[in-house]
Structure 1
């Protein structure tokens, strides 16, 4: 039971901090990309009106989703992941012995011009127009939640939570210069 409680705490705290960081960067980028903020606000009003967003509504917020994905690409809360090789493996011409710890530099990969194009350092949510798999030259280039069996267990919840918060903020006319 102690292990279960410890894992639940881990999920809660890890998810809280990473989602908070995603929302913070999203709000910053909304404030610096006013043209996109207005497009997102229009989409949210069209889909959600002034109602609390439902799951069906959130699934229709394509621009909001693209904005969040591009935010994660450029300013993801996790910049590096580490994995231990479970068996001897060959990566291209490199032999990796079992037990070797591999460091995967997510932040570097997310700005790699060979993977994302010459505009890799620019905020360009249009790159996600056709989905995550076609956003870059490699279908698994977006590593914000990792991939495979060790990917983030809370990624769907995090994206739903972030879309809900952003949608509810955009529903309101705020009278400050930030928005």
Structure 2
């Protein structure tokens, strides 16, 4: 279940980007940023970069996380920012993932899920990322 959740978050992070501000001069790789500069981190773009995730970056492949996030990211944890990192990370990360595991476990005990034949995959990027036309699924009782 953790692998499926992590892969879902990799492909569809809850937010599109986050804003950070430098308090002093900082260097990120080869880039030097001045103090008091705001910059955007494209959370949604990083997990779709083939240089970071391989040529199969757009394929839903939960087994990438079979040996944990560090192994999946080749120790480049900054390429997986679904809940951000460090002191500014989402305080509800553990709660949210636990809640999803409980809800999915309850649903999957009672139903088999298939996508509706009329489902058209399209995302809307507002405050959060979500399906443009809702998630049209069919629940089949087990």
**Length-normalised TM-score, structure 2:** 0.76
Residue 113 of structure 1: how far off its partner (Å): 0.5
Residue 65 of structure 1: how far off its partner (Å): 1.1
Query: 1:101–1:117: structure 2 CA closer, same or farther, 3 Å change rule?
Result: same
When the two chains are superposed, the root-mean-square deviation of aligned CA atoms in Å is 1.8
Query: 1:175–1:78: structure 2 CA closer, same or farther, 3 Å change rule?
Result: closer
Matched, 1:93 2:30: yes
* Bigger Cα Rg: 1
Aligned to 1:73: 10
Residue 175 of structure 1: how far off its partner (Å): 9.1
Q: Runs (4+) of structure 1 moved beyond 3 Å? A: 173-177
Structure 1 unpaired stretches of 5+: 1-63
Residue 174 of structure 1: how far off its partner (Å): 5.4
Structure with higher helix content? 1
Q: Is the 8 A contact 1:117 1:136 kept in 2?
A: no
Structure with higher strand content? 2
Matched, 1:144 2:82: yes
Q: How many residues align?
A: 116
Residue 73 of structure 1: how far off its partner (Å): 0.7
Aligned partner of residue 82 in structure 1, secondary structure: strand
Query: 1:172–1:94: structure 2 CA closer, same or farther, 3 Å change rule?
Result: same
Structure 2 unpaired stretches of 5+: 117-137
